[in-house]
């Protein structure tokens, strides 16, 4: 066991023992432990296998970047051991192994690495012949974790939150920023992905207890500040336009809208590159400090510190305090400036080697770190004559940092490569976005506090519209990052990207093959495309490319840092679908009558009414027969219903519809169509003139919302003296149709229904069953009929009254399918079924509805042009022979002429009244003469003959609208 005595700021609760299993063995840890810290404390060194070569891996960062320690936790996949909190009873296994972590059967891949060059996938899959073989092999070997298909579907509700200033990162600079913003009067949300706040202030100490005490004092202040809400264990996953930040915690996603954002996200420590830099035991210096100060775990017994900055010496001091024997500090820099930190380390008897690096690390029989070879190193080249072997079980890499600037990039920050810092820093920040601390290039504890204060005050001032308090921040004087922490080795295995097992030579080969641009290099090598998204590899890759192409890092540039910052469970992203669904006021009546509903726009409409013992088509034909021979009723309340009033109402409609609406007499209705600017048919409906200045008109069910919106826009543009009201939901309406409809309606209403008093296409206002009603005589289904519109709340009463009055005449409801069949028999088209996004009125025989001599209407100019041009296609009626028993064409089947597509079927039904199939089809204009036979290609590819015929198919003289003589 390597658990240390109590550390002042440790996260673990020593009073609560946690039992868990890992790879089939029992272990214990403490509450507050991460899985990796508990295992490391128990002496386990191999925690996972790498993705490509299945090499043993241990701890790298302890900061959510240890992507080689991905665990399966029951149904949870790819849990990261370095941050996953230990729970009692966990049963964990490492992913990406065959037959367990120790005995992984595919670990031989490490020795085959010479045959797995960079771009191997691209090269392997290039050949069509070998593709299936490779695919089978790769699918078997690759893939992380085992998916349990019985995993329950967890719905996580989303939460919404608002603040003035969002501070991302609760380290020293973030804490300081939050307090400064709050002091200026802003409401602050402070977010940190770690389980506890404080950041580097509580673990990157170098023996400086004062820094820890100061950080704790800040935490107390934040906790006591009512203007600051601190969310720990919460990831600010992205930055979207207008300060929209998804916050991810263990349970849900919160969508935070901020007034300003302060990025205090810090920096990622970067691994050095040398042979076998991936052996378990080699880790980042900051990882060792996290183990010590957060989890009270001794990272190693004998450690070598690979150094290139001041932080390395802080690591050495913390290791010494934790009882670790520091074998040497190996510093890449030369000469070594004798600062107080170096002196402090030296004074404790530690050898500090200047101008030296680790040439390679050596493994013991278990595959974990046993020793390193240290050489003099100059610009990445080792002088092997100076080689010296040092036994150790831990290497701390402290050679440099890369800014956690992902969200800054997403916000559109222009970044500049600072040569002295060897780091990209914000050059031009977007409005309302601020940066402080290490992401802003400041590394000293006091400088970070000052920088946070400056950024917090500025962010608050931005939101509150006040003048920002000026805070002076000294520029960074240290050099925290080494420009070339890479040591060449002829036998390679010097890893740059631990996610994808990429070595230095892979980059050299990729550039050799011509992938010498950062974006191309990324795609070919897959650097930064693993689960850590390049957080510890992109910067080194960039440096390699810069050196190989003779450019500066600024010239090479960075790849795009896309959301999300870390992987997020799908359950957090998936939500409930909120689709508005409208129901007619008569919905309950339909359901009681056995209606089978179908979606129509936002509405649910009865497709037909099911009758026990009858098939769907039998039910539809019964409904059709009832309309033609008796009386029946359909709910048409889903049609758009719009009223327009005002002195210029007639002008307005005249400019919208293609017909002369101004000539429509009070008490009359007219069928009308609308077009767009290009002359394409957009909607249809019936317009009724109720008085000089009041029109009431219907639109198609699916077009209602758009028509109303577009009319509102046109009214806003033209500003005529009229107002538009959408009554779609305010009125219920039914179409009562059939030879007996007057017998049903007559006794119920106070309007004279005689043909003389209430002719075809007239509108009357009166009462039906005592309910105020607007009635229109319509003929859509080809029978004597009335559309009755009543206030929505009276809909069911009207329905019941009509059903009761109609019972002696055999009344019944009919659905949308029956209506479609009935209207087809009359040859009426349905906009958007029999027309498409390019159909103009002349193509569908609507010339009569278009009055080109009007002063103006929408689409008029285009229709004038189209009128002069020959038609390319025309909608025509067709029929199949009576008794036809072959394959029946369906809607959208193509009309083929000489092997080419010449048209298509738009509607087709078997007509029970005519005894054969009828339909509408787009055909070449020269093929629309009745009697012309054309060929349709049906589903199985065979050709079927159909014959053009006149429309209407049924009652062409409209005798059914006339009083029988």
Partner 1 sequence: MKLMPCPLNGLRPVSEFVYWGELRPAPDAATCSDAEWADFVFNRNGAPGVKREWWCHTPSNTWFIAERDTEKDRVLRTWLPGGEP
Q: Which residues bind partner 1 (CB under 8 A)?
A: 240-242, 244, 255, 677-678, 708-709, 712-713, 716-717, 719, 726, 856, 860-862, 865
Which CB atom, from 388 or from 861, has the smaller least distance to partner 1?
Answer: 861
Q: Which two tokens stand for residue 679?
A: 């002359």
Q: Which residue has the tokens 């399918």?
A: 817
Q: Provide, rounded to whole angstroms, the least separation between the CB of residue 710 and partner 1.
A: 8
Q: Provide, rounded to whole angstroms, the least separation between the CB of residue 256 and partner 1.
A: 11
Q: Provide, rounded to whole angstroms, the least separation between the CB of residue 864 and partner 1.
A: 8
Q: Provide, rounded to whole angstroms, the least separation between the CB of residue 715 and partner 1.
A: 8
Separation CA 769–CA 123 (nearest Å): 80
Separation CA 2–CA 8 (nearest Å): 17
Question: Cis (ω within 30 of 0) for the bond into 537?
Answer: no
Which CB atom, from 160 or from 848, has the smaller least distance to partner 1?
Answer: 160
Which CB atom, from 245 or from 946, has the smaller least distance to partner 1?
Answer: 245
Question: Cis (ω within 30 of 0) for the bond into 952?
Answer: yes
Which CB atom, from 307 or from 680, has the smaller least distance to partner 1?
Answer: 680
Which CB atom, from 866 or from 918, has the smaller least distance to partner 1?
Answer: 866
Separation CA 831–CA 685 (nearest Å): 10
- Strand stretches in 631-676, DSSP E: 632-635, 640-645, 669-675
Q: Is the CB of residue 918 less than 8 Å from the CB of residue 825?
A: yes
Which CB atom, from 154 or from 730, has the smaller least distance to partner 1?
Answer: 730
| b/e map 651-683, b = 16+ CB within 10 Å | bbbbbbbbbbbeebeeeebbbbbbbeeebbbbb
Q: Are strands 900-911 and 894-897 parallel, antiparallel or unpaired?
A: antiparallel
| Runs of H (alpha helix) within 465-503 | none
Q: Provide, rounded to whole angstroms, the least separation between the CB of residue 757 and partner 1.
A: 39
Q: Provide, rounded to whole angstroms, the least separation between the CB of residue 694 and partner 1.
A: 20
Which CB atom, from 467 or from 716, has the smaller least distance to partner 1?
Answer: 716
Q: Is the CB of residue 380 less than 8 Å from the CB of residue 484?
A: yes
Q: Provide, rounded to whole angstroms, the least separation between the CB of residue 241 and partner 1.
A: 5
Helix (H), strand (E) at residue 315: helix 310-321
Q: Are strands 13-22 and 90-94 parallel, antiparallel or unpaired?
A: parallel
| Contacts with 196 (C-beta within 8 Å, 6 or more apart), sequence order | 11, 202, 232, 294
Burial of residue 894 (number of CB atoms within 10 Å: 0-12, 13-18, 19+) = middle
Which CB atom, from 184 or from 858, has the smaller least distance to partner 1?
Answer: 858
Which CB atom, from 229 or from 861, has the smaller least distance to partner 1?
Answer: 861
Number of H helices, E strands in the chain: 23, 47
Q: Provide, rounded to whole angstroms, the least separation between the CB of residue 59 and partner 1.
A: 39
Which CB atom, from 678 or from 935, has the smaller least distance to partner 1?
Answer: 678
Q: Provide, rounded to whole angstroms, the least separation between the CB of residue 581 and partner 1.
A: 17
Separation CA 947–CA 935 (nearest Å): 9
Which CB atom, from 259 or from 637, has the smaller least distance to partner 1?
Answer: 259
Which CB atom, from 241 or from 467, has the smaller least distance to partner 1?
Answer: 241
Q: Provide, rounded to whole angstroms, the least separation between the CB of residue 575 and partner 1.
A: 14
Q: Provide, rounded to whole angstroms, the least separation between the CB of residue 658 and partner 1.
A: 15
Which CB atom, from 187 or from 904, has the smaller least distance to partner 1?
Answer: 187
Which CB atom, from 115 or from 856, has the smaller least distance to partner 1?
Answer: 856
Q: Which two tokens stand for residue 828?
A: 């009426």
| Contacts with 855 (C-beta within 8 Å, 6 or more apart), sequence order | none
Q: Is the CB of residue 660 less than 8 Å from the CB of residue 654?
A: yes
Separation CA 786–CA 745 (nearest Å): 9
78 phi, psi to nearest 5 deg:
50, 45
SS3 labels along 843-891: HHCCHHHCCCCCCCCCCHHHHHHHHHCCCCCEEEEEECCCCCCCCCCCC
Q: Provide, rounded to whole angstroms, the least separation between the CB of residue 97 and partner 1.
A: 42
Q: Provide, rounded to whole angstroms, the least separation between the CB of residue 582 and partner 1.
A: 15
Burial of residue 208 (number of CB atoms within 10 Å: 0-12, 13-18, 19+) = middle
Q: Is the CB of residue 661 less than 8 Å from the CB of residue 857?
A: no
Which CB atom, from 675 or from 798, has the smaller least distance to partner 1?
Answer: 675
Separation CA 456–CA 179 (nearest Å): 7
Q: Provide, rounded to whole angstroms, the least separation between the CB of residue 451 and partner 1.
A: 28
Q: Provide, rounded to whole angstroms, the least separation between the CB of residue 119 and partner 1.
A: 36
- Strand stretches in 242-324, DSSP E: 244-248, 253-263, 267-269, 282-284, 302-307
């Amino acid at each position: 066991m390597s658990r240390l005595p109590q550390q002042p700021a440790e996260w673990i609760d020593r009073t609560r023992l946690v039992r868990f299993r890992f790879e089939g063995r029992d272990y214990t840890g403490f509450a507050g432990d991460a899985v990796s810290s508990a295992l490391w404390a128990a002496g386990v060194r191999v925690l996972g296998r790498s993705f490509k070569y299945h090499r043993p891996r241990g701890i790298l960062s302890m900061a959510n970047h240890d992507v080689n320690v991905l665990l399966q936790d029951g149904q949870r996949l790819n849990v990261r051991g370095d941050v996953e909190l230990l729970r009692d009873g966990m049963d964990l296994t490492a992913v990406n192994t065959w037959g367990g972590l120790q005995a992984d059967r595919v670990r031989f891949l490490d020795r085959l690495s010479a045959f797995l060059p960079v771009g191997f996938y691209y090269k392997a899959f290039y050949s069509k012949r070998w593709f299936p073989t490779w695919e089978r092999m790769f699918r078997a070997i690759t893939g992380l974790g085992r998916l349990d298909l019985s995993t329950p579907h967890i719905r996580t509700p989303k939460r919404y939150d608002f603040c003035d200033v969002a501070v991302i990162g609760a380290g020293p600079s973030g804490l300081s920023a939050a307090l400064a913003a709050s002091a200026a009067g802003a409401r602050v949300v402070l977010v940190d992905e770690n389980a506890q706040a404080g950041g580097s202030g509580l673990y990157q100490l170098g023996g400086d207890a004062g820094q820890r005490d100061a950080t704790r004092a800040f935490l107390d202040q934040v906790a006591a500040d009512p203007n600051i809400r601190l969310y720990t264990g919460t990831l600010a996953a992205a930055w979207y336009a207008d300060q929209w930040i998804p916050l991810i915690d263990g349970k849900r996603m919160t969508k935070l809208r901020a007034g300003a954002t302060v990025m205090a996200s810090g920096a990622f420590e970067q691994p050095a590159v040398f042979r076998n830099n991936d052996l378990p035991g080699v880790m980042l210096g900051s990882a060792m400090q996290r183990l010590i100060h957060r989890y009270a775990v001794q990272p190693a017994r004998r450690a070598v510190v690979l150094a290139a900055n001041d932080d390395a010496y802080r690591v050495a001091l913390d290791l010494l305090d934790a009882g670790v024997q520091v074998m040497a500090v190996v510093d890449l820099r030369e000469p070594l400036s004798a600062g107080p930190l170096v002196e402090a380390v030296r004074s404790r008897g530690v050898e500090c080697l200047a101008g030296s690096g680790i040439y390679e690390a050596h493994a013991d029989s278990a595959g974990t770190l046993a020793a390193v070879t240290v050489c003099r190193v100059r610009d990445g080249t080792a002088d092997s004559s100076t080689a010296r072997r040092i036994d150790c079980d831990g290497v701390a890499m402290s050679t440099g940092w890369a800014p956690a600037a992902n969200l800054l990039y997403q916000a559109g920050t222009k970044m500049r490569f600072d040569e002295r810092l060897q780091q990209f820093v914000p050059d031009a920040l977007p409005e309302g976005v601020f940066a402080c601390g290490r992401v802003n290039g400041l590394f000293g504890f006091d400088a970070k506090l000052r920088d946070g204060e400056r950024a917090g005050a500025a962010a608050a001032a931005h939101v509150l519209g006040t003048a920002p308090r000026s805070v002076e921040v000294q520029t960074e004087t240290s050099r925290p990052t080494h420009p070339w922490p890479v040591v060449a080795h002829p036998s390679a295995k010097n890893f740059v990207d631990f996610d994808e097992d990429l070595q230095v030579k892979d980059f050299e080969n990729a550039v050799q093959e011509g992938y010498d641009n950062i974006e191309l290099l990324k795609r070919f090598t897959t650097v930064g495309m693993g689960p850590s998204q390049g957080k510890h590899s992109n910067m080194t890759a960039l440096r390699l490319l810069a050196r190989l192409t003779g450019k500066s890092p600024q010239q090479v540039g960075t790849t795009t840092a896309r959301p999300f910052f870390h992987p997020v469970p799908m359950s957090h992203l998936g939500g409930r679908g909120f689709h508005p669904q409208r129901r007619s006021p008569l919905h309950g009546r339909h359901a009681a009558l056995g209606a089978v509903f179908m979606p129509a726009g936002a509405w649910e409409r009865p497709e037909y009414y099911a009758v026990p013992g009858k098939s769907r088509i039998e039910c539809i034909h019964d409904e059709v027969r009832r309309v033609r021979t008796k009386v029946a009723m359909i709910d048409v309340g889903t049609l758009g219903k719009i009223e327009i009033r005002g002195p210029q109402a007639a002008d307005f409609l005249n400019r919208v519809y293609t017909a002369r609406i101004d000539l429509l007499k009070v008490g009359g209705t007219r069928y009308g169509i609308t077009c767009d600017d290009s002359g394409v048919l957009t909607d249809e409906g019936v317009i009724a003139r109720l008085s000089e200045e009041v029109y009431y008109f219907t639109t198609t069910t699916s077009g209602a919302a758009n028509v109303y919106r577009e009319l509102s826009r046109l009214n806003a543009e033209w500003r005529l003296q009229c107002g538009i009201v959408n009554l779609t939901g305010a009125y219920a309406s039914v179409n009562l149709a059939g030879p007996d409809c007057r017998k049903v309606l007559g006794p119920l209403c106070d309007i004279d229904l005689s043909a003389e008093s209430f002719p075809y296409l007239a509108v009357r206002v009166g009462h039906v069953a005592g309910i105020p009603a607007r009635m229109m005589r319509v003929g859509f289904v080809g029978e004597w009929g009335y559309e009755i519109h009543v206030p929505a709340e009276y809909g069911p009463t009207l329905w019941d009254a009509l059903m009761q009055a109609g019972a002696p005449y055999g009344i019944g409801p009919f659905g949308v399918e029956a209506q479609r069949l009935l209207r087809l028999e009359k040859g009426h088209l349905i906009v958007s079924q029999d027309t498409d996004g390019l159909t103009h009125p002349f193509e569908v025989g609507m010339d009569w509805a278009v009055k080109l001599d009007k002063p103006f209407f929408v689409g008029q100019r285009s229709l004038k042009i189209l009128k002069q041009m020959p038609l390319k296609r025309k909608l025509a009626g067709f029929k199949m022979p009576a008794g036809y028993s072959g394959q029946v064409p369906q809607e959208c089947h193509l009309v083929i002429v000489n092997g080419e597509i010449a048209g298509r079927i738009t509607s087709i039904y078997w007509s029970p009244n005519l005894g054969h199939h009828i339909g509408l089809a787009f055909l070449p204009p020269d093929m629309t003469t009745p009697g012309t036979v054309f060929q349709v290609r049906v589903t199985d590819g065979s050709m079927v003959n159909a014959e053009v015929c006149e429309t209407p198919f049924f009652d062409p003289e409209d005798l059914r609208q006339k009083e029988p003589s």
